Amino acid sequence: MTTTDDYATYIASLPRVLAGAAALYRDAEGRVLLVEPNYREGWALPGGTVESDQGESPRTAARRESAEEIGIDVPLGRLLAVDWSLGTDRPPLVAYLYDGGVLDAGQLASITLQDEELISWRLVEPAELAEYLPGSLGRRVQEAYRVLESGEGAAELENGRRPLTP
């Protein structure tokens, strides 16, 4: 076996990790834009899987997914949070969450949902996010919103929570 074969075997043996990216869009009143997927219960932010096999970065994925899902294609702001999220029915997920900015009335009126994946969208008060977003996703979005409002640097999260540090 050649060194190239050994390396390929080694790479194939490594654990799989999923990567996802989303954008946190707000309106002028600070409400958060959520979308309702048709393929699972609950609500989500515009976003999805990073297509790393296509050379896509998390930032590019969040922008592409937003354009596909809601028809909004704007440059994204800063990284708000990175979350290591364990799942029981999937490999671990590294989720990147970016500032999508404040959408004006014209942009909100122009939202066009991707019929293949989404049922509806709505604006939700930050205090109500946990009611719409389940588990670690809700915690992730609440922490990202807090980071956005405080001006702090991006949050490092584990299952939507800041890890305990010594």
Residue extents of the structural domains in the chain: 18-158
The more confidently predicted of residues 80 and 91 is 80
pTM over 0.75: yes
Query: How much is the pLDDT for 6?
Result: 85
Residue 69 is encoded by which pair of tokens?
């899902």
pLDDT category at 166 given cuts 50, 70, 90 is: low
Q: How far apart are CA 66 and CA 58, in angstroms?
A: 12
Mean pLDDT, range 61-70, rounded to an integer: 98
Give the pLDDT of residue 14. 82
**pLDDT above 90: residue 8:** no
Q: Pairing between strand 118-124 and 47-49?
A: unpaired
CATH 3.20.20.100 fits 18-158, yes or no: no
* 82 beta partners: 96, 156
Give the residue carrying structure tokens 């899987």.
49
Q: Within 10 Å of residue 40's Cβ, how many Cβ atoms?
A: 9
Q: Which range is least confidently modeled, 5-9, 53-57, 64-68?
A: 5-9
- Predicted local distance difference test score (pLDDT) of residue 134: 82
